[in-house]
Structure 1
C-alpha cells in the first residue's frame, strides 16, 4: 500500500492550488491528488474573469485581457472600472497548477476512510493528512455528518458560440446591445456555496474550497480566496500543525465573510412578519455612489477587506435597513460562535 504525506480529494482549483502551494512551502512532502475526472472538470462554469494581482502571482494563461469593466444596471452604464481583468479557462489553470505542483494524480472514486487509510474504487492509500477538496459533493463532511454551507450563489448561465459564459440576462441587458443575435449553445444552472461552515479541521483531516463554503459572498470571484486559503493550509501542514489552519483562517477571513453576508441576508432572506417594514435601497442610488467612490466598489468586488462607507453613502440606506442589518450581523456572529464551540479544533 502506497503512503503519502498528503492526499487531496478533488482536482479543482482548491485541490490543484493546494498541491501547488505545498510544493512551494514544503517540496519534500509526498502529495497525491485523486479525482474521478480530469483536473478542472467539475467547475460550475468553464470560464471566468480573474484580477490582475492573481494572474501575476500564478502566471495563469488567459484567453483575453480586458482593460476595464462596465458597471451599470440593465442597459444603462454608469461608469467604467479601469483595471485589468483576465478571462481564463478553468481547466487550463487547474492543469497548470497540477503540472507545476509535481504532485501525483490518479483517477478514482474516494469511497471510505479512517484516520490513516483512504479507500478508493481502485486501491487503498495511507496518509498523514487528508484534505477534502471535493467541492459541492461534500464527500467527507457528509460522511462525518458535519453541517453543510447554508447559503449558495445560484444562477443560470448561457454559453454563447464564442464560448463566453454569461449569467442569464433579463430582457433589457447591455450585452444584447453589444452582441447581435448571440447563438446560445448551452444553458446550465450553477450553484456555489458562499457561507463557510466550521470546522475546517477534524483530527488529521482538513477542508478547503467549496467543501466548506470558501468563495467570498460579495462576488463570484471565488478563485482568489480559495487559493489564498490554500496558502494558509500549506503553511500549517509544513509546520505539522493543522490547528494553525483554522485559527489563521478565522483571524484573516471570518469577520469579512460575516460582514458581506449581512446585506445578502437582508436582501434575500424573506421574513414573513417583517417584510412590510423593510425598505429596499435603490440600486440606481447605490450605483451612483459607486460611480462617485469607485474605490469602494473595488474593495467590495475584491471581497477581501472590511470597509467603511462614506457618510454620504450611508444616508441612502433607510433606518429600518440599518436596524435589520444590525440584527442579522448579531445573528451571524452568534451562529459562528456556536459553530466554533460545537466543533472544537481537535
Structure 2
C-alpha cells in the first residue's frame, strides 16, 4: 500500500487547481492526483466554449457568485503570469423583445450586486455600435467577459504541480472504492491501493458515483446534458465582434444558444442542451446502458421532465434540425443562414439533480471525515477553478 497525505481524484481544471492550491498552502504535503483517462482536461474542462465568465448571472451570496468573482481575478492573474492565451474581449447580453427587458434588468442588478463595474445598458442603437449585425431592443455590455485556452491552462497547472511543487499524478487509474478508517482513507483503484489522510474528489461527470463511495445516502444524481455547437464559415466570422448572448429562458436552466469567438480562431454558435444517454458521449448516437439506467431510474429525472419537458423537446428538435437551430440564432444575428453554419464540437455538462427534481443551481461541495466531494461544479467552474481549489485547500486539515 502506498501512502500519501492527500489524494485528489480527477484531473480536470477543478482537480488540478485544487492540487496546485493545496501544494501552495502546504508544500511539504505528499499529494497525488488520480485520473482515469490518459490526460488532463479530457472531458468538461476540454470540451467547453473557453469563456471566462464575469459572474453577472449568479445570485449574490451563492458559491457560484463568490467563487466566480474571486476565480475570475485569480485566473486573469494566472494566465498573464504563465502566458496562457486569453482575450478579455467582452460580451453583450441581448434582449430581442420587450418581454425580455425585466429579466435583462434583473441580470444587470445581479452583476452590480456582485461587484462588477463598468457594466453598461445599451439601447438598440448602442447595440449596433458594438455589434453592427446583431439585433435587439436593448442589451448589457459586460467588458469583463473573455475567452481563454482552458486546455493550455490545465497543462500549465499540471506542469507547475509536477515540476515546481513536486506533486505526483497517475493516469489511466480509475478509483473504484474509497473506505474511511480511523487512520485515514483507503483508496482502491484499478491498479493500486493507497492510504491517504485526506481525499478530495473532483470527478465531474461521475461525481455522484464517486461521492456515493463514502456517502451511502447520496441525494444527488448527475444528469448529463450534451451541448452541440456549429461554427460559422470563415467568410461569415466578421458578423461577430465580441460574444453575443441571449437573455436566458427562465423556463430552462441554461444560457441558450449564443455566439462565441474562440481563442484559437473562429466563431462558435451554440450550444443547445440535450439529454445525453452517455455521460462521456459527444455524439447524438452515443449510448451507455449504465448511464441511461441511472438517469431513467432516478425519481428526480421524471420530475424534471414534468417541469421542462416541452422546452427539452424543443432542444432535442434543434439537435436534429439545423433549420431550427438556425432560427434560434437568427434572433441574435438575423443575417445568419443555414448554409453559413458547419458542424462543430460538442460537450457534456454534468448537472446534479436531487430526488425532488431540482436541478442544482449552485456549486455543491461537502466535507466529512477528511473526505471532500465536489458533487456539482457546472459552469462557471472552469473560470472559478482556482478559487474553488483555494476554498477546498482551506477546508483540509493542514499543518
TM tier, shorter chain? 0.5 to 0.7
Please point out which of 168, 174, 177 is paired with 2:335: 177
Alignment-derived partner of residue 72 in structure 1:
94
Alignment-derived partner of residue 174 in structure 2:
109
Please state if 1:125 is matched with 2:182: no
Q: How far apart are residue 42 of structure 1 and its match?
A: 1.5
CA distance in 2, matches of 1:171, 1:199: 35
Contact map agreement 2:7 2:31 (CA 8 A) in 1: yes
| Partner SS for 1:17 | helix
* Per-residue deviation, residues 306-325 of structure 1 (Å, max 9, x unmatched): xxxxxxxxxxxxxxxxxxxx
TM-score for both structures, normalised by structure 2: 0.51
CA distance in 2, matches of 1:59, 1:90: 10
Q: Gaps (5+ residues) in structure 2?
A: 55-71, 97-134, 233-265, 273-324, 353-359
Contact map agreement 2:365 2:376 (CA 8 A) in 1: no
| Partner SS for 1:27 | coil
Alignment-derived partner of residue 369 in structure 2:
203
Alignment-derived partner of residue 301 in structure 1:
none
Contact map agreement 1:70 1:77 (CA 8 A) in 2: no
Please point out which of 93, 101, 108 is paired with 2:153: 93
* Per-residue deviation, residues 222-265 of structure 1 (Å, max 9, x unmatched): 3344432321221232536xxxxxxxxxxxxxxxxxxxxxxxxx
Q: Gaps (5+ residues) in structure 1?
A: 241-346
Structure 1: 4+ residue segments shifted above 6 A: 150-153
CA distance in 2, matches of 1:175, 1:153: 29
Cα separation, partners in 2 of 1:62 and 1:198, compared to 1, 3 Å: closer
Pairwise CA RMSD of aligned residues?
3.1
Cα separation, partners in 2 of 1:127 and 1:191, compared to 1, 3 Å: closer
Q: Across the two proteins, how many residue pairs are aligned to each other? A: 233
TM-score for both structures, normalised by structure 1: 0.58
Higher normalized contact order (CA 8 Å, seq sep 6+, divided by chain length)? 2
CA distance in 1, matches of 2:154, 2:228: 21
Contact map agreement 2:91 2:141 (CA 8 A) in 1: yes
Contact map agreement 2:186 2:194 (CA 8 A) in 1: yes
CA distance in 2, matches of 1:158, 1:76: 22
Q: How far apart are residue 183 of structure 1 and its match?
A: 1.1
* Per-residue deviation, residues 287-333 of structure 1 (Å, max 9, x unmatched): xxxxxxxxxxxxxxxxxxxxxxxxxxxxxxxxxxxxxxxxxxxxxxx
Contact map agreement 1:149 1:195 (CA 8 A) in 2: no
Contact map agreement 2:87 2:146 (CA 8 A) in 1: yes
Alignment-derived partner of residue 29 in structure 2:
29
